[in-house]
Amino acid sequence: MSDHAITLTVNGRQYTEQVEARMTLGDFLREKLGQTGLHLACEHGVCGACTIVVDGLAVRSCLMFAVQADGTEITTVEGVAAADGTLNPVQQAMRECHALQCGFCTPGVVMTLTSLTTGENEPSEEALLKAMSGHLCRCTGYQGIRKAIKQLTAGEAA
């Protein structure tokens, strides 16, 4: 297997690493960079648990090779709360709405909702629900995730 040098920024820190061409981005971030908040649950792009943000877009890290991430800027679930531990609005809404139980699918849900609600984006409740149809959760019946979405799209009124 051929190794390749890649340089990328993960949660604000730059790394240069040698990776095998076949290593998925998800495995790379977990195993080489210790970002174990990223969870691999199906490894075929259906469940959404491994979602991270690559150059501003939500991406399934099981469907991307690490070498494809050369030169990118990546955020994982470890990188969205403030340095002092303050949760970001998505994390806070999910906490307040009991949107998780076992927490295994949770990092992916956080990252998709974060990517869609960051910056100028003001997506509708329906748009976020649609995005969530790409995430599987076996514990919650999605009730708390629905509430969190409502809270996130209701602005200050929530």
Partner 1 sequence: MSVPISGAGRYIGQRVLRKEDLRLLTGRGQFVDDIAIPGVLHVAYVRSQIARGRIVSMDLEAARALPGVRAVLTAADLGQFNVRLSNMHLHENNGPITLPLTAEYVRYVGDPVAMVVAESRYIAEDAVALVYVEYDEEDPLITVEDAMTGPLVHADRESNVLLQIGLPPNPEYERILAGAAKVVTSTLRHQRIAQSTMETRGCVSNPTGMGELTVYIGCQSTHIASAAIAIAFGLSENQVRVIARDVGGGFGLKAQPWREEAGAIAASLLLRRPVKWIEDRLEALTTSCPARESDITTTMAFDADAKLLAMGVVYNSNNGAYPHMPDAGMPVMMFMPGPYRVPVYQFTGKAWFTNTVGLGGYRAPWAIESLARESLFDKAAREFGIDPIEIRRRNLLTSSEVPARNPLGIEIDNITPIECLDNLLTKIDVPAFRAEQAEARKQGRYLGLGIATYIEPTAANGIFPLLSDHAQIRIDHAGKVIANLSTHSQGQGIETTHAQIIAEQLGVSVDDVTIYQDDSTRSGFGPGGAGSRQAVVAGGAIIRTARLLTDKIKAIAAHALNANPDDITIEDGMVKVAGAEAMSRSLREIAELAYGDAKRLPPGMEAGLDAQYRYTAPRMFTHATAAHACVVEVDAETGFVQIKRWISSEDCGVQINPAIVEGQIAGGVAQAIGVVLHEEFTIDARGNPTAVTFKDYHLPAITDVPILEYTHISTPSDSEGGFRGVGEGGIIIGGPTLLNAVADAMVPFGTLPDDLPMTPSKLLKLMHSEMPA
- In the complex, the residues that contact partner 1 under the rule CB under 8 A are 20, 22-23, 30, 34-44, 46-47, 49, 76-78, 80-81, 85, 87, 91, 94-96, 98, 100-107, 110, 129, 132-133, 135-146
Nearer to partner 1, 57 or 102 (CB): 102
**Least Å distance between CB 72 and partner 1?**
19
Nearer to partner 1, 70 or 129 (CB): 129
Residue matched to tokens 């998505």: 90
Nearest to 111 by CA among 44, 30, 48: 48
Q: Cβ(28)–Cβ(66) under 8 Å?
A: yes
User: Contacts for 86-91 with beta carbons within 8 Å, 24 or more apart?
Assistant: 88/114, 89/117, 89/152, 90/114, 90/117, 90/148, 90/152
**Least Å distance between CB 98 and partner 1?**
4
**Least Å distance between CB 155 and partner 1?**
21
